[in-house]
Copies of this chain bind each other. A is one copy, B any other.
Amino acid sequence: MIDKNQETQRLVSANRILAREKVVDAFGHVSIRSPQNSGQYIMSRSRSPALVEFSDLMEFTMDGEAIDLQGRTTYGERMIHGGIYEARPEINAVVHNHCLAVLPFSLTGTPLKPAIHVAAVIGEEIPVWDIRDHFGETDMLVRTMEQARQMTTAMGSSSCLLMRGHGAVIAGRNLKEAVMIAVYLQVNAAVQTEAMKMGEPVYLSAGEIKLLTETQFSALAMDRAWEHFCTRAGVETN
């Protein structure tokens, strides 16, 4: 049974927030590294994030084996999460989604780059990964640890990765940061899309990205945003 603490309760909130902000639809998922056991992660059973409740949470080994399956259906792409937690000890929360504003970038090779200050947290470089380049024709889902590891390698130390024709992966040091990145990834994508039609946008400089990321991840900004997101999603601020 999953321990009911601030981290796991926030994971339920994060599901609802990502749904409310249209970062996920029927598909997509979010996980945290287990606070009790850094070699495991926690995510919902296979369910639309908009509907996830505490009792839906399950624990998994890095390889995606359920600790206590209880006959439940699990997300087919949970390996994405294990692959990242395994390789990147600093990462404690992962989001996978298919949000609309981001997808055109994954299809055309147009670099998605931080242009607006609240989106500096998406990071200077966002690689695009195409499963077909490495595994040929598949159903495009990351189903095996081998695929997840290949994807994680392509992601490097980035906060975000785009998957061609599929969506995005977002990795955060903690859950609130992962949610913040996921939300503003799509905001930046929408603004950049329109700006590129007008001319060549000025992007944030490397120095601005560094300084802005500190600002955006400060308690001042994070607390304000988390209260805002929780209220909009109809969950208690936790």
Contact = CB atoms under 8 A, between A and B. Distances in A.
Interface of A: 25-27, 46-48, 50-51, 73, 76, 98, 100, 103-105, 107-110, 115-118, 130, 132, 137-141, 164-166, 187, 190-205, 207-208, 211-212, 214-215, 220-221, 223-225, 227-229, 231-232
Given A139-B215, A199-B109, A48 B227 contact: yes
Nearest to A212: B139
Contact of A117 (B140, B205, B212, B231): B140
B73 A228 contact: no
A190 B138 contact: no
B205 A103 contact: no
Contacts of A195: 103-104, 107-108
Given A190-B100, A202-B107, A207-B137, A220 B46 contact: yes
A211 B138 contact: yes
A233 to B, nearest CB: 12
Nearest to A103: B191
A236 to B, nearest CB: 13
Within the oligomer, what is the number of copies of this chain?
A: 4
Contacts of A207: 137
28 contacts: A25-B228, A26-B224, A26-B225, A27-B118, A47-B224, A48-B228, A50-B231, A51-B227, A51-B231, A73-B220, A76-B215, A103-B116, A103-B191, A104-B201, A107-B116, A107-B201, A108-B202, A110-B198, A117-B166, A130-B202, A137-B207, A139-B208, A139-B211, A139-B214, A141-B215, A164-B202, A165-B203, A193-B197
A105 B198 contact: yes
B76 A208 contact: no
B198 A196 contact: yes
Contacts of A110: 198-199
B27 A194 contact: no
A220 B201 CA distance: 40
Contacts of A118: 27, 98
Contacts of A138: 208, 211
Contacts of A224: 26-27, 46-48
Contacts of A200: 108
